[in-house]
Amino acid sequence: DSGVTQTPKHLITATGQRVTLRCSPRSGDLSVYWYQQSLDQGLQFLIQYYNGEERAKGNILERFSAQQFPDLHSELNLSSLELGDSALYFCASSVWGEGGVEQYFGPGTRLTVT
């Protein structure tokens, strides 16, 4: 157990809908990262927040948005869902270790768009 929690575990929804995925980082970790893992692709970095502020942006679609709240939990909002958005969505939180940033991944939310 990494200490990072994600809800829900599974989500099934229809095309055109909007969903919100939630992530709670490990206690004390200020950074949250969101990743998408599709069947035909590896892990794709979406976005990073640090202490409520957007820190880095990856391959995040305009239909997707995220935020980090004062209690440091984060939400990833996916709207106008398409079949291709079906994927496993991970969040990770990080801490500075001996060698630099160490990431701890949550269990993921599996999104199925039908």
Q: What type of residue is 30?
A: L
By CB under 8 A, what part of segment 47-106 binds other proteins? Answer: 48, 55-58, 90, 97-106
Cα separations in angstroms, 4 against 14, 40, 80, 104, 106: 28, 25, 27, 7, 5
Q: From the list 42, 53, 62, 71, which residue makes contact with other proteins (rule: CB under 8 A)?
A: 42
Give the integer Cα–Cα distance in Å for 95 and 101: 6
Q: From the list 21, 74, 87, 108, which residue makes contact with other proteins (rule: CB under 8 A)?
A: 108
Q: Residue numbers of the site for other proteins (CB under 8 A)? A: 2, 33, 35, 41-45, 48, 55-58, 90, 97-108
